[in-house]
Structure formats: C-alpha cells, structure tokens
Structure 1
Amino acid sequence: MKKIDMYYPGKTKSVSITGQACSLNCSHCMGHYLRDMISLKEADNTDSSSFLISGGCDREGKVPVNRFLDEIKMLKRKARLNIHCGLVNEDEAKTIGEVADKVSFDFTVDDEAIHEVFGLNKGSEDYIRSYEFLRRYTDVVPHILIGLKGGIIDREYEAIRVLKDMGTEKIAFIIFRPTIGTPFADRKPPGVMEAADVLRFARKALPHGYITLGCMRPGGSYRDSIDRMAVDIGVDGIVNPTPGAVMYAKEMAYDINIKEECCVL
C-alpha cells in the first residue's frame, strides 16, 4: 500500500532568537514571519516536545545561533530541536551539530536571487559550502523555495540537480506566497502546474528520497490544487494538507500516517 505522512505540527513551537529583528529583510519576507514566533524566554516556559529555532539573519546571511547557545542547550534538555541557521562556516556548523537534532537549511544556487532577493553579497558556492559543512556534523534538510524570484521559477531545477549529485536524501519544498508589506506583495505565486512540475522533477531525481511539501505555500484553491497534485506525484509528506487533499489521498488508497511535529523532525 502507498504511504504518505500528513503533518499537523502543533507540537513544534517556532522560536525567534532575534525577536522581530532581521538585517536582511528579504524581498519576499521582510521579517514578517518572525512576528508569530515566541522568544527563547517564552520557549523555556512552554511545554512542547520540539522547537524550531530560527530568527532574522545578519548581513552575512547568518542566523546568530552561536550567540544563544547556552539558552538553546537548556531547551535541548527537554525537547528536540530543529535549527534554522542560515549560512555557516565549519566551526559554526560543528557547534550547531552539537545541539541540533535536525537542521533546516534554505538552499539555492541562484546567484541573481541571492543578490536581488536576499540582498546578500554572496554566491551559490556559499550555500553549497554551508550545506556541506552542516552535513558533516548533523542531519540537515535543505529547503527549496519554488518561485523564489517573486513567483518566477528559474534555478530551482538546478538546485535539485546539485542536491542529487551531493547525495541528498531529503528535500522540503515551500512555495512563494505574496506577503503584505513586502516588495513582492503584488506578485503572484508560480502557476500551480509549474510548481507541481518542480515537485515531479524532484520525485524522479530522488526516487527513493523523502520529499515533503512544507508549511509555507499559498492558501485557498491554490493550496488544495497543489496538495492534490502532490499526492498524485507521490511526495512523502504534506504539512497542514487541505481536507480535500486528505480525502483524495484516502480515495487513492494511501495509508495516511498522522504526525504532530515539524516535517523535518
């Protein structure tokens, strides 16, 4: 029987170690998604089985995880940790590996997007190098944003090829959604069929890998359509699937496994 994991990650709380501050203010986010995260202090008083440790980036594209290691180690005593760290050098990767159960890493090989969307004076080699460092010391799951350039799909296919050649076994995909108050607020998500084509390409590239459709994607009819297509494509997991997609998976004779934590964990 075909199997699929459906994630409802209520038991994983998201923590921003920088509050609402972010030095990059990328065109698709502008720190918007930090606002709903709790602080480290609040996390210490929260009864959760796991935490996503994230935050805003500095001008080098790093989330300053190492500055908060003592507090993070305290959380580690009571819960599993998924750390979203941004770019790293090898020493930083090694330190993060000592506390992380998993690492989420935003992966791209699109130099134009790195410069124009992220506003970073970096290149694809910096992302590849950071990913390699993290893999040496922990279990890292690369995340690919479909439609990174304000809804335009460009180098996502190349990112998948690079990850395949590096021996990656798990990729999480998210999809661009216009966000109020950002430079990309008036843009449109990539077409549903085009986004599905990226997932289909990844499925063929990693036939035995674990592919998830992550929590960040447009809502409404778009979400229901892409979720159903993801079922047809054969992704291994969907985060917060629409009821219609769950029903469709049942109709297609999938064995559905319900999980209550972050898809990376």
Structure 2
Amino acid sequence: MTIPVASATPSPVPETINVAVLGAAGRMGRTVCDAIEAAAGLELVARYDAGDDFSVVRESGAHVAVDFTVPGVTEANVHALLDAGIHAVVGTTGWTDESRQRVREHLAQPAVAAARTGVLIAPNFGLSAVLAMTFAARAARYFESVEVIELHHPDKIDAPSGTARHTAAAIAAARADAGMAPSPDATETGHDARGADVDGVRVHAVRLRGLVAHEEILFGNVGEQLSIRQDSFDRVSFMPGVLLAVREVVTRPGLTVGLENVLDLS
C-alpha cells in the first residue's frame, strides 16, 4: 500500500542516484554494497554500521539509504533519514502497524512532505518471493484451508519472518473480503506446535543450517491441494529487487509497503 503526501507532481530523479547502505558490514549489507557499485546510474557514497556516527550518512550526499540492520534500530534509522531529507529503502523486518504509523505521521510533517521524501519497506526483495505472495493472495479465496511454512538459516533473529507475516496478512485480507470462514482446525492441545497465528492464518517457522530463505504456502480443499513454493539460495537473488526499489523510491513520496506495489502485477 502507498500513502501519498503533498501533490501528485513527480519527484525529480537525479541522473546518478547516490546511495548509502546502513548495516553495510552484515551479510546482506555487503551484498547490497557490491550490487550498487556494479549498477549503472547508482553510486555508493556511504557505508554505515553499528557504532558509526550518523553524520557519515547525513553528510554523504546520499539521495537514498538502504537499511539492512536489525529490528531494534531500523525505525530510528528511518526517522533519522527523514530528518536528513534522504529517501529510505528498508529490508529489515520487525515492523508493526504502530511503527509504520509513526513513519506515516513523520512523512506527513510539513517539512518532510514538502521535500516529497519516500520510504519503501519490503518484507522481501526477491522477485520470486513477491510473486509467490501475490499468487497466494489471489488463490486464497478458492480454498477452505491454508497454512504457511517459512524456512530460514538459524542466524535469523525473528520468527516468523516478515515475509511470512506479510504473506499471511495478505491471504487473510483476501479471505475476509470473500467472506470465507476460518480454516477448519480441531486442535485442542498442541504445546505451541500449531505455530504463530497471523490474522487467523497459521504460520510455521523452521530454522536449519544450510538454508537461506524459503517459503511454502499450502492450500487445501476436499480432494485437492495447491502448493506455492519459493526458494532463495543466495542473497544475490534479492539484489534486482533492491536496485528496483532504490530507483523507484525517489519518485514515490510517502510510505510504500511491499515490493509488489512497484511491480506491474496487474
């Protein structure tokens, strides 16, 4: 979803977009830095990590900052970027309705709105993952039962993943729009074995060495099952989506949640 601010006049796009990377020393941050340095029309102007002074970013001339840090600091980073007049592309998970609302309110402040600053928060930048989420939302109204399984490496600090939560929320919204009943489930005892509940959709998290990022959405009716499976085997698979977001956010004032909103999926 996109929350527009100010007028509909397109924001000017610089000939070369200067980019800062927050969380630059992490696995994703290093991959993002390499992708930006190799991309036409983009220039890496700052690498920022824990312990650094934010002036490194503020004084770098960055038009856009990409945040792949940790949930505990990402919201504060976005507010600092808005105060500095820098667009933000955020891949860090852990966002809530409340934290996104605080960003909307900051974007609506007169100085920020006048600068037409944009924030794009994406639970997943993998194009296959975005397509899987989109297909799942469209299939949701046709099946009695649905469950989501997400599988990641054991160093991931949040569970369920932001991707799985985003997927489940979109499925739940589609089912609600269609007036569907909750998935049938006679479980009475389970000792948390039924996983997390996201708007009535069960989500299960697997953490296993050797995995990177994977999701399977299971739909069931009497006598049939549909499985939508997405696998990311290397972090470079996220880079086309990150680069697309960097190029798009400078033209999209306000808050955009989900990369599907900048893809032509009509």
Fold shared, TM-score > 0.5 on shorter chain = no
Class of the TM-score when normalised by the shorter of the 2 chains: 0.3 to 0.5
- TM normalised by structure 1 equals 0.36
TM-score for both structures, normalised by structure 2 = 0.36
